[in-house]
Amino acid sequence: MSNIDNLLVQFSSILETKLEELLPKRAELPEDSLFKTMRWALKQNGQRFHSFFVVSVATIFAVPINCAMRVAACLEILHAKSLLMNNILHIPYHDRHSAGFINAVLASDAMLVMVFNMLAHPDTHKDHAIRNALVGATAEAVGYGGLIGGQMLETVLVPEEATLPEIVRLKRMKTGSMFMLSVELGAILGKVSPSLRASLKSYASTVGIMYQILEDLKEASTSDNNTLRKATLINTMSHAEVKTHVDFMHGQALHCLDNFDERARTLRELVTFVQNECNKQYHFEL
């Protein structure tokens, strides 16, 4: 296992404890199915990659770990909410009056509200200006110009007709917005200057595209051609072009960290980790 693999395993264990502390407890109420769906959604993403970025950035600027972990938990709940909504959007129309569909929609709403409530709570940070900034950044990343807009765009794009610029825009709105939010939340906690925050967001946007390529490669290697029916970057490029694109973005992401010292070592290792995972998934036979 690589150093990043080990760090992710350790982080996931700590995050699980934090999520258990924050999530609603069973109370044998009629609406308990809502809580079960929220917990189920959180179990679907085992690696906790997005939320790890929150803590990785916060650590650079000596943010207390309890504070960083609470915000990381918010990001993880938000990511789980996005995965749940992805599932909802693929439910056939004839099944959209079922109890399961209604429960999933309401659970998605509940998770989003829970995130904003947690970010705005004094337990997250004693400074109300920091809490306001966390809420504002999250709202911008999730809204019509970010995650939710990207999910809508994905429903109207015709995979066979989608152009490369359209696909890149889609991935930046969905995956990219979540990665940029993850580093921005850590930067807000660390009271980072606007210029350094911009560098971190550029880094995260690039890593986000690389990570989406990795996810598409994984899906293509395990599914029955489902990825071929989606608007993905790997369906618009040759083998050689995909490798060249990933390698270029690796260098681009590292360049974004030029103004950071050795404390950003984990961020540098993360982008190299994604590059290596892409190469493992795709046998670049040129």
CA–CA separation, 119 vs 286, rounded Å? 48
Nearest to 174 by CA among 202, 140, 208: 208
Under the banding of pLDDT at 50, 70 and 90, the label for residue 176 is: confident
pLDDT at 33 over 80: yes
Q: 3-class SS at 187?
A: helix
Confidence of residue 181 (pLDDT cuts 50, 70, 90): very high
CATH number listed for the domain at residues 3-281: 1.10.600.10
CB atoms within 10 A of CB 260: 17
**Which amino acid type is present at position 206?**
T
Dump pLDDT digits (tens) for 64-115. Answer: 999 999 999 999 999 999 888 887 877 777 777 777 788 889 999 999 999 9
Task: Provide the CB-side half-sphere exposure for 18 (13 A, CA).
Answer: 23
CA nearest to 2, candidates 283, 286, 239, 272 = 272
Q: Write down the domain spans for the chain.
A: 3-281
Q: What is the mean pLDDT of the chain?
A: 87
198 exposure class (CB count in 10 Å sphere: 0-12, 13-18, 19+): middle
In DSSP notation, 66-86 reads: HHHHHHHHHHHHHHHHHHHHH
Q: Are 251 and 231 in contact (CB under 8 A)?
A: no
67 Cβ partners below 8 Å, 6+ apart? Answer: 58, 124, 125, 189
CB of 137 closer than 8 Å to CB of 147: no
* Residue 129: alpha-carbon gap to chain centroid: 24
Pair 206, 267: CB distance under 8 Å:
no
> Over the stretch 198-243, which tens digit does the pLDDT of each residue have?
999 999 999 999 988 888 888 777 755 554 567 777 777 777 888 8
